[in-house]
Amino acid sequence: MNSFLKRIPFASLSFQYAPQRDPASGSHYAKDSCLRTVVPLKLCLYSSAHAFGHTTRLLAVAAQIRSREPQARLVLNSHVPDWLIDVHLGSAIERRSVRLDVGLVQSDSFTTDTAATIERYHLLEQCADRLVASERDWLAHEKFDAVLADIPPLAGRLADTFRPVWGMSNFGWDFIYRNLEEAFRPLAERSAALYRHYSGLFELPFAEPMTAFDPIVPVPLVVNEARFDRDAVRRALGLSARQPMALMTFGGLGLGGFPAARVVEHPDWQFVVTATAPENLPNVTTVEPGAWRLIELLTAADLALIKPGYSTVAECCALGLPVVSLDRPGFAEAELLIAALCRHLDCRILSNTDFFEQPWDFLDGSLGRRPPLAAPGAGIIAEAILSGVR
C-alpha cells in the first residue's frame, strides 16, 4: 500500500462496537426498540515499561477524555510511581501494573544493559500466551470498548472484532531494536510482527517511518496541561519574576551524576532540579516528586537542560522554550528528537562529557524563545476515541 493511503483521517475509520450517545449525560448507551441502557465509555491504557514519557502522554489523553466524558471508566497499566499518576489525574483513573513489554533495561537515561534487556524479552515471550489470554479475558469480562497503547508490541494481540487496540507513539520498539547491535535483530522482527495486530496508530510528530502499523493517523503534539501559570509556579519556588531560571530534568532514570562544578560558576542563575542534587548549593532548588507536572516547571523556566525524550521535547516545543540537550548515543529515537529540536527551538546539543567538563557559555543569553508549536494532539485523540464508540 502506498504510504499516503495509510495516512487517512480517523473519521473514515470505525470501531465495531458503536453505542449511541445520551445527550443528557454525555455517556454512551446501547439501544434497541424497547430499552436504553446507559453505557459509559470504558478505555484501558497500556504503557511501555520504559521511563516516564509513555505514561505521561497517555495520561494527557486520559485527562482530555475525562473532561469530555466524566462517567468514562479509565484504567491505566503502567510501572511508574504512584506520585506521577497522582499529579496528573489522581483518583480519576484506575491503576493496574500489567507489563506487556520490556523496552530497554537501563541504569540511567543514557546507559543500556544489553544482556538484561534480551534476557527479560525472552522471559516475557515465555509467558506471553498466558498473559495475553488473561488480559483478553479480563477486558471482555469488564466490557472495555477499546485499548490505547503506547507502545508495547504485545498489546496488539489484545485486539479482536469488538475491541480495537490503537497505538500512540513516535517510534516502535522494532525501530529501536533494529538500530542496536545484531543480537537485537530477532527482537525487532518479532516486535514488528506484533505491531501488525494493532488496529491502527496515532502517529505523533517527529516520528520514525512506523512501517509496522496500518492505518496511520498523524496527530499534532500531545502534551499535558499546566494547572498553574508562570508567576504562580515561580512564587511557589521562591523565585522572583526576573530571576533567570534553568530547569534541569533528565527523565525518570536520571543523569547518573550532578554537574555541581558548572552550576557554582553561575550564581546569578537559579537551577531547578527534578532529581537528587547536592544540598549545599545555594542556587539549586530541588523539587519533590509529584509536586509539579513537568509542563508547569517548564512554563516557569527560561531555559531547559534535558535529555532527548519525547514528552520533554514535545512540551519544550509547545512552549517555544530554548533548550540545551545532551546527545544520547545508541538510542535511535534521540536522533529524530534532536533534529526536531534543531528545527523548532533555539538549542545547543552537548555530549555528556562536555556538559560536565566544559564551561556553560550557553547561559550568556544567546539562546532565546521561538514561536511555540501547536499541541492539541491529546484532545484530538480523545475526540477520535469517543467518536469511535458513538
Short-list 296, 355, 367, 360, CA closest to 328: 355
The candidate with the shortest Cα–Cα distance to 141, out of 167, 165, 166, 162, is: 162
Q: Which of 269, 267, 281, 264 is nearest to 245 (CA)?
A: 269
Strands of 205-301, DSSP E: 216-218, 245-249, 270-273, 284-286
One pLDDT digit (tens) per residue for the chain, 390 residues: 333 223 334 444 443 333 434 444 444 444 443 333 447 899 999 999 877 899 999 999 999 999 999 999 999 999 999 999 999 999 999 999 899 999 888 766 567 788 899 999 999 999 999 999 999 999 999 999 999 999 999 999 999 888 999 999 999 999 999 999 999 999 999 999 999 999 999 999 999 999 999 999 999 999 999 999 999 999 999 999 899 999 999 865 456 678 999 999 999 999 999 887 888 899 999 999 899 999 999 999 999 999 898 999 999 999 999 999 999 877 788 999 999 999 999 999 999 899 999 999 999 999 999 999 999 999 999 999 999 876
CA 374 to CA 299: how far, in whole Å? 15
Q: How many residues in the chain?
A: 390
Q: How far apart are CA 36 and CA 29, in angstroms?
A: 6
What residues have CB less than 8 Å from 126, skipping those under 6 apart?
none
Residue 179 Cα distances to 8, 58, 103, 191, 350, angstroms: 28, 25, 14, 13, 22
Cis upstream peptide for 215 (omega within 30°):
yes
In this structure, the number of other CB atoms found within 10 A of the CB of residue 91 comes to 8
